[in-house]
Structures are given as structure tokens and as C-alpha cells.
Structure 1
């Protein structure tokens, strides 16, 4: 296969899948990783892809924030495993903050009915899932609700989270990497996430491996601020070691 043919195929895969990574492309086309990196560099210069850590994404996808329903249908099995593993991190009779997200939503849906916890969240779907748990002391944090994520943002939410000191935060993100940190497309959501990190003694990040290497407009934290990352086995072991070198424990489930 000529380079031009291979590059055309890379663009097609990126548009269908939302992103491509160097390792998978090298295996797919039976070429070296360096050859793939040259292809991605060529396509980036041509404006057909945008390079990110470990791969590339289609132009126009970089700041696209999928709707909640679209995100709920992505990596469903991986998110379910991550949510089940996260149950082990629930404190006994303690306080928990749940960030807005589809994986944190799966965690909320998996909460035991008899769990005796104080739970705070600014995410309407998560609050609805926990509202019928009689042993949970549920607090819904208010603010302006973003339609795309069904989450409260802005001053009211920020002030509330500044006033608490929770045992565990279950955090969500749109992208993460050792170099780029934690990112999300929206500045208002990023501001809330910063306050969430400051509001908890232990921070557990729930993020499937497809989010690794994704970089978005608003950076809200560093991986070194995360105590535990729960992800799936799609995350490369070498990358997991790089993250652990920053002081973050990594669980691949």
C-alpha cells in the first residue's frame, strides 16, 4: 500500500471511530510506529486530522462535546466494569461527591439500596437515580443547568462545593494524559471540576481508555492530583506506568 492510500484509510478510520492511535494503526497496516507518526504529521499539516498524544482525531472533533445520550452509548461495557470497581472505593458511612458523567452515572445506578452515605452531586440524572435510596442523605447542588450534560454550573455550584470537605470524589473527564492533564470542552464545567477536586480528601477518576490522549479546550487539573484512576484494560500498561510515576494509582479493569 502506498503512503497516500494508507493516509486516506487513516482519515476514514478516524472519522468513523472518532480517533486513531499510533499503536493500533501500526498493527493494522503492518508498518512501524514511526511511519504512522509521519503519516499523522502529514495529515495534520494538510488539515485533515489533528494530532493529539498517542494518535489523532478528525478536524472538527477536537472541541465537539457529544450529547449525554450519545456518550451513554459509547464504551458501555468498559464503563460498567469501571463503575463496579469504583463501588469498592465507597466509604463506610461517609460522604461522597459525584461528578457529572456517564461513568459516574453508572456508578450511581449501581449504589446498593442500603448504602448509608451522604452524597452530593450537581448532576440531575445522577440525583434522580439516587433519590429512591432511603439510606442515602442526598444533596442536589444547584446552579445554571447545561442542557448538554444536565449538570449545574456557575457561581451557585462553585460556592456550595467550596463549603464542603467530603471523604471521596468520583471525578469524570473528557480527556486525560500525563502531559496534558485533565481537560473538558466547557470552561464552566472545568471551573466546577476544580472545586470538586479541592472539596474531597480522596479523588478517584473514572475514565475509560478512549479518553486517554484526548485534549480539550479547558484544563482543570493534573493527574498528580488524582489518588486513583480506574480505567479499562485498553489503556496501555506503559502509559499506566507513566501515570503512576506522577503519584496516581492506576487500576485497569
Structure 2
């Protein structure tokens, strides 16, 4: 197993357990303690954990943000299940417009859309501000890419031109990713420019579907870009509970569990 693969697995275990010990990781990954300590040091430098005596704990930060290629490997099983459940919400004879937000869960959904409608001649109108999503879909179905300055971290077009372009649209469906989903703070994300684009997407769409694995529940990232009441559906790998479940119900948000 390469260092990157080990580090992705460590990040996944931390997300699941909140803390891990060096001994647990040595047994789990079948490597030496010294190798694990180097991996933990690298992950700490990347802002993904804090080392403690004998192991590490998950770092909860309102501003920490993983690059898209790293996020694609985190909670991968959950994200694929969420994408499949989200795709099932689109009728097979749907010929309207779909705006797909940037992100790893939405990218997984985009792949399914491309596979379903690729080369059929009757695909929905697909719009995105995510360069990676546009690239993966363009060989399968027509896709409209909204321009702007592309953030290297996520591959998303951002900026005032991007926001203005989104505001001229009225897509039938928008699929949006989040970094946090909270009863009191709503939908949130770390970057101000991406928050502005996400807010414009939610405002523009006739119906908004949020894709969020359970690790996003009760999290509050730096910037709230929409209240829960602006959302029609939340698709996740696990049903929310407690205050978040109550707030979603009060806002009339439908929950779909993958």
C-alpha cells in the first residue's frame, strides 16, 4: 500500500471513530509504528488531524478543506451510495435542466447521469461550474460549463462572473454539496467565493437536492450559504437524528437514505 493510500485510510478511520491509536493503525495497515507516525505527521501538516500521545484525533475546523482528489477517497462507499440514491430521484424520461455543483459526491452523481443518458440523444440539459465534472461528462452528453476563475483546490469556477451567470438561470434541479449541515447554521462551506456560488445555485433552482454523507451532520463550516428551508431534499447514507432531524422536518425537507 502506498503512502497516499494509507493516509486516505487513516483519514477514513478517523472520520468513523474520531480518534485512533498508533497500535490500532499498525494492526489495521500492517506497517511499522514509525511508518504510521510519519503518516500522522503528514496528515497533521495537511490539517486533517491533531497528533496526541499514542495516536491522533480528528481535527474539527470551520476552515479546513481537503483538495478534491483527496475528498474523492474519503467515505467513498457512502458517496457512491448517495450518488446512486440521488440519481434515482431523476425520472428516466426527464428532459429538463440539471445544475450540478462542484464536489466529490456530485461528481459521482455526474458519472451516473453520463452513464444513463450517454449517447441516447434525449439527455437533460446539464450545467455545472465544476471543470472536472464538465470534463468527465463532455464525452458522453452535452454539458454547459459556467466560467470564472477556477479554484485549484476544488476545480470549481468562482467569482462575480460565475455568480452573475448562475443568477441568469432557472434550472429545474440543482444537486449541491456541503461541508456542514446544521440545525441552526444551515448549509455551510469554508470558502467565501464557493459559498457565493452555492448560494446563487440554491436561489436559482426550482428544486435543490443536497448530497451529504453523515460526517457532515451537525457540522458548521465557516460560511452559511443557505438555510435548511431553501432545500427540498437531503440525500445521505444515514438518517439524521436529534436537533438536525427536527429542524429538517420543521423546514419541510424530505430525507432520502441511501
**Which residue does 1:108 correspond to in 2?**
110
**Which residue does 1:62 correspond to in 2?**
62
Whole-angstrom distance in 1 between the partners of 2:244 and 2:11: 21
Q: Secondary structure at the match of 1:229?
A: strand
**Which residue does 1:73 correspond to in 2?**
73
Q: Deviation above 6 Å: which 4+ runs of structure 1?
A: 13-16
Residues 158-209 of structure 1: CA distance to partner in whole angstroms, max 9, x if unpaired? 1111111110000111110111211100000000001001111010001101
**Which residue does 1:17 correspond to in 2?**
14
Trace 1:81-100 onto structure 2 (pairs within 5 A).
Answer: 81-90=81-90, 92-100=94-102
**Which residue does 1:248 correspond to in 2?**
253
Whole-angstrom distance in 2 between the partners of 1:201 and 1:242: 21
Count matched residues: 206
Does residue 228 (structure 1) correspond to residue 229 (structure 2)? The answer is no
| Contact 1:90–1:96 under 8 Å retained in 2 | no
| Contact 1:93–1:116 under 8 Å retained in 2 | yes
Deviation at 1:19, TM superposition (A): 7.9
Trace 1:158-169 onto structure 2 (pairs within 5 A).
Answer: 158-169=163-174
Deviation at 1:137, TM superposition (A): 3.4
Whole-angstrom distance in 2 between the partners of 1:125 and 1:89: 23
Deviation at 1:213, TM superposition (A): 1.5
Give structure 1 stretches of 5+ with no counterpart.
1-12, 22-47, 50-55
Residues 89-126 of structure 1: CA distance to partner in whole angstroms, max 9, x if unpaired? 22511100000010000001111123511111010111
Q: Secondary structure at the match of 2:154?
A: coil
Give structure 2 stretches of 5+ with no counterpart.
1-9, 19-48, 51-56
| Contact 1:231–1:252 under 8 Å retained in 2 | yes
Are the structure 2 counterparts of residues 129 and 15 from structure 1 closer, same or farther at C-alpha, using a change threshold of 3 Å? closer
Whole-angstrom distance in 2 between the partners of 1:207 and 1:164: 24
Are the structure 2 counterparts of residues 195 and 239 from structure 1 closer, same or farther at C-alpha, using a change threshold of 3 Å? closer
| Contact 1:175–1:215 under 8 Å retained in 2 | yes
Q: Secondary structure at the match of 1:150?
A: coil
Aligned-pair Cα RMSD in Å: 2.6
- TM-score for both structures, normalised by structure 2: 0.73
Deviation at 1:241, TM superposition (A): 4.5
Are the structure 2 counterparts of residues 86 and 132 from structure 1 closer, same or farther at C-alpha, using a change threshold of 3 Å? same
**Which residue does 2:198 correspond to in 1?**
193
| Contact 2:12–2:74 under 8 Å retained in 1 | no
Residues 40-88 of structure 1: CA distance to partner in whole angstroms, max 9, x if unpaired? xxxxxxxx99xxxxxx9636x3321011111101111111111111112
Q: Secondary structure at the match of 2:102?
A: coil
| Contact 1:168–1:200 under 8 Å retained in 2 | yes
Are the structure 2 counterparts of residues 239 and 158 from structure 1 closer, same or farther at C-alpha, using a change threshold of 3 Å? closer
